Amino acid sequence: MSGKSFKMRAEHKAPVIGESLYLWAGNQIDLPKVHDSLQKRELTSRVDVYQLSTADWSSRLTRGTPPLGVAAYSCTTSHSNIYYFGGYCGHDDCYHNTLNVLNTIKMEWTSCSNVEQSLMKKGYRIIRN
CA gap 25, 100 in Å, rounded = 14
For residue range 39-73, list pLDDT tens digits in order: 999 999 999 999 999 999 999 999 999 999 999 99
Give the separation between CA 105 and CA 107, rounded to whole angstroms. Answer: 6
Burial group, residue 29, by CB count within 10 angstroms (0-12, 13-18, 19+): exposed
Is the distance from CB of 67 to CB of 40 less than 8 angstroms?
no
* pLDDT, position 116: 54
- For residues 124 and 59, the model is more confident at 59
Query: Do the Cβ atoms of 117 and 126 come closer than 8 Å?
Result: no
pLDDT tens-digit profile of 87-120?
Answer: 999 888 888 888 999 999 999 999 997 555 556 6
